[in-house]
């Protein structure tokens, strides 16, 4: 019968059917695959063929999929401007007493089943007013009758909770306590939810059986929005003018407008050889070839000073064409 060997490894007895087939004897048990003479007799060959057929048939049964006792759940929610993702397994009560029973009081719990529950913040947040940098964390809890200890743990690689030897205090990103709430309607399957959304906060809710625990989350929305408003209302940046001018040039739109925008870029950011190249091309499309040639020469001068060889070559080719049109 199957069983556990000392040390925790799983042992399976060789079924009687497998004893029908000879074991190949190797001259070197590790990496020499020469077989003893006589192994490939007709009898052995037939037995090996039957064994291969049986092995192939058994692989068909290995492909049968059945529901997981604690299926995987995923939750994604944007709070303010911060995306929050939760990945966890969802066990069900199935008539069992959960807290103080299946999940003992006073012991660290994986806050779900199977692998550690993982929560990812796309930007820095606060959990119960404790600063938490952006990143992924394992969510561990220590349930109690009246309050729970909440732990956000940096190492998310554990299957379940780390043992006493593996647990490192320096990997604790946040630890605090929250009160337990009672819900009237029994919740059969463990559920994590993000509710009570505002522009700057939300509640991470853990609910199972008749127990509910709420972890407050705070996000800094106001300072980010105010910074964006200030930047936008101050007007376009130099790169915005360049991008707009280039698009107008490439799509053969209003060249006079394109020229105004490229000049605005130069006014704000100074002369750059690639910007002057664009300006020269715009001037040429406007038929202002003398100005285009002068601007292209200045582009070449700056490009050579910067060690660039492509722009001088392109400028020389363009200047040669423009001179023919003077």
* 3-state class (DSSP) for residue 199: coil
How far, rounded to the nearest angstrom, does the alpha carbon of residue 204 sit from its chain's CA centroid?
20
Q: What is the pLDDT averaged over residues 191-201? A: 96
Residues in the chain: 326
Q: What is the DSSP string of 202-260?
A: EEEEEEEEEEEEEEEEE---HHHHHHHHHHHHT---HHHHHHHHHHHHHTT--HHHHHH
pLDDT confidence of residue 66: 83
Hey, which residues does 129 pair with through a beta bridge? none
Q: What is the pLDDT averaged over residues 299-304? A: 97
Question: Which residue, 318, 262, 274, is CA-closest to 299?
Answer: 274
- Between CA 303 and CA 313 the distance in angstroms is 10
Tell whether the model's pLDDT for residue 12 goes beyond 50: no
- Between CA 279 and CA 294 the distance in angstroms is 11
In this prediction, residue 273 has a pLDDT band, given cuts at 50, 70 and 90, of very high
Tell whether the model's pLDDT for residue 18 goes beyond 70: no
Tell whether the model's pLDDT for residue 297 goes beyond 50: yes
pLDDT confidence of residue 49: 63
pLDDT confidence of residue 76: 96
Quick one: three-class SS letters along 270-290? Answer: CCCHHHHHHHHHHHHHCCCHH
Q: What is the pLDDT averaged over residues 287-301? A: 97
Q: What is the pLDDT averaged over residues 154-175? A: 93
Tell whether the model's pLDDT for residue 182 goes beyond 60: yes
Question: Mean pLDDT of all residues in the chain?
Answer: 86
132 close to 125: Cβ distance less than 8 angstroms: yes
81 close to 221: Cβ distance less than 8 angstroms: yes
222 phi, psi to nearest 5 deg: -60, -45
pLDDT confidence of residue 160: 85
Pairing type for strands 172-195 and 201-218 reads: antiparallel
Question: Which residue, 162, 163, 160, 137, is CA-closest to 150?
Answer: 137
Q: What is the pLDDT averaged over residues 25-44? A: 42
- Rounded alpha-carbon distances, angstroms, from residue 122 to 76, 77, 198, 232: 11, 11, 17, 23
Lowest-pLDDT choice from 104-108, 230-234, 263-267, 289-293? 230-234
The dihedral sign for the CA sequence 41, 44, 46, 49: negative
Q: Which residues contact 122 (CB under 8 A, 6 or more apart)?
A: 82, 83, 84, 134
Q: What is the pLDDT averaged over residues 181-192? A: 96
Hey, which residues does 79 pair with through a beta bridge? 82
pLDDT confidence of residue 67: 83
Q: What is the pLDDT averaged over residues 121-129? A: 97
Q: What is the dihedral of CA 66, 67, 72, 77, to 10 degrees?
A: 120
Tell whether the model's pLDDT for residue 10 goes beyond 90: no
Which residue is listed with tokens 């605090």?
Answer: 176
Tell whether the model's pLDDT for residue 206 goes beyond 60: yes
C-alpha Rg value of the chain to the nearest Å: 35
pTM: 0.63
Q: In the Cβ-directed half-sphere of 272, how many Cα atoms lie within 13 Å?
A: 15
273 close to 308: Cβ distance less than 8 angstroms: yes
pLDDT confidence of residue 24: 43
pLDDT confidence of residue 22: 45
Quick one: three-class SS letters along 139-154? Answer: EEEECCCCEEEEEEEC
Domains of the chain: 12-56 (no CATH), 72-223 (no CATH), 236-323 (1.25.40.10)
Q: What is the pLDDT averaged over residues 220-242? A: 91
pLDDT confidence of residue 45: 57
Tell whether the model's pLDDT for residue 163 goes beyond 70: yes
Q: What is the pLDDT averaged over residues 51-55? A: 59
pLDDT confidence of residue 30: 29
Q: pLDDT digit string (tens) for 55-110?
A: 555 555 557 888 888 888 999 999 999 999 999 999 999 999 999 999 999 999 99
pLDDT confidence of residue 59: 52
């Amino acid at each position: 019968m199957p069983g556990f060997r000392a040390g925790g490894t799983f042992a399976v007895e060789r079924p009687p059917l497998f004893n029908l087939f000879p074991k190949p004897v190797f001259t070197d048990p590790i990496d020499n695959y020469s077989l003893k003479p006589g192994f490939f007799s007709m009898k052995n060959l037939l037995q090996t063929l039957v064994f291969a057929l049986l092995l192939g048939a058994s692989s068909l049964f290995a492909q049968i999929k059945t529901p997981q006792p604690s299926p995987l759940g995923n939750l994604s929610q944007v709070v303010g401007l911060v995306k929050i993702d939760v990945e966890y397994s969802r066990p069900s009560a199935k008539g069992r007493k959960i807290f103080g029973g299946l999940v003992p009081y006073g012991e660290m719990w994986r806050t779900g089943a199977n692998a550690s529950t993982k929560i990812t913040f796309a930007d820095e947040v606060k959990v119960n007013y404790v600063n938490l940098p952006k990143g992924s964390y394992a969510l561990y809890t220590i349930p109690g009758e009246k309050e729970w200890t909440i732990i956000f743990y940096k190492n998310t690689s554990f299957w379940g909770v780390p043992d006493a030897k593996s647990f490192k205090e320096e990997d604790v990103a946040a630890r605090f306590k929250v009160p337990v709430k009672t819900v009237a309607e029994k919740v059969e399957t463990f559920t994590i939810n993000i509710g009570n959304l505002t522009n700057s906060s939300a509640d991470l809710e853990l609910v199972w059986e008749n127990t509910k625990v709420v972890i407050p989350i705070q996000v800094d929305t106001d300072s980010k929005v105010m910074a964006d408003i200030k930047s936008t209302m101050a007007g376009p940046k130099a790169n915005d003018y360049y991008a707009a001018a280039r698009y107008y040039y490439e799509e053969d739109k209003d060249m006079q407008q394109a020229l105004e925008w490229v000049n605005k870029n130069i006014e704000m950011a100074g002369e750059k050889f690639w910007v002057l190249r664009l300006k020269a091309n715009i001037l040429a499309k406007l038929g202002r070839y003398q100005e285009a040639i002068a601007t292209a020469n200045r582009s070449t001068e700056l490009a050579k000073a910067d060690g660039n060889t492509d722009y001088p070559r392109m400028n020389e080719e363009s200047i040669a064409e423009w001179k023919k049109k003077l």
